[in-house]
Structure 1
């Protein structure tokens, strides 16, 4: 009797189990994969142009300007003459303003020292009073000689700066240069004539610094 053949079951090893599991989970080649671009369906009507139902119609082209009417030649001549007169008056006014500004500037420079010179006039008066009241004994005094030299130097300095005395004695009374302090009857001088000078006046260039204080003659019995 023939012994029955013993059947054996092959048990796979752990390496074979791992290899089999890896090959079973792999995706077969060539299987189509769905792309996100293919999955997303294009919205119906996409890209269609939307037109606003209330859109304004295109503007009409601007109308051509109407040329001005031709002016009357006589009117044009009158307007031209008027504008010419205005220009001439404006030019004359500009010249007058420039001339006045020049004169004012020159006056400021010319009379810049007027206040200082006027303050020196009492000093000059005291020199004159001192020298006029000297008696004969002091005429040759060296001190008086020095005073006279200082007085002459002061007068020369003032003259160099265009300071001049105002002529008054024997001249007709001039209210712009003379100040009348009193009137006296005079037989030798006509009325209105300066017969005595009490204080000498001075002027700088043509401007009076100090008016001369004078006595004026009047008619006898008036």
Structure 2
């Protein structure tokens, strides 16, 4: 019986040793394959995230182009309401001065609204002609302003911040012929 006990113990030891040798050590190939699978999953995840980001950025840009004018639109609609109220007014000899001052106030309000949103008039009358802001539609001989300066403005030039958004149409002074 003692021998059986020893055999059993020896067998247990042998099987414990056998288990240690039976546990496979991962080969370099298997480790590389696992690491490759891990990196591939991370790449696919990042690619999906980037695709979602691109779609979101495109939608955001589209919405900005579509609805970017909303703030200035709301402000201009307030001015439009004042013009419509003025047009509903019955103008008579007694109310013409009040009507005129109301329209002038509304025009001033419109200019302030445009300035608030970065749209400003480029001063032109009696200023030197500047082809960056002005389009000369005519020339006029005069001594009232120096040659090359603007005598009349048909359309005022406007800029949005630093960019010209509308060229002015002007008449430029020339030296009178003797």
TM-score, length basis structure 2: 0.45
> Higher helix fraction: Structure 1 or Structure 2?
2
Q: Which one has more relative contact order, counting CA pairs under 8 Å at least 6 apart?
A: 2
Greater CA radius of gyration, 1 or 2? 1
TM-score, length basis structure 1: 0.37
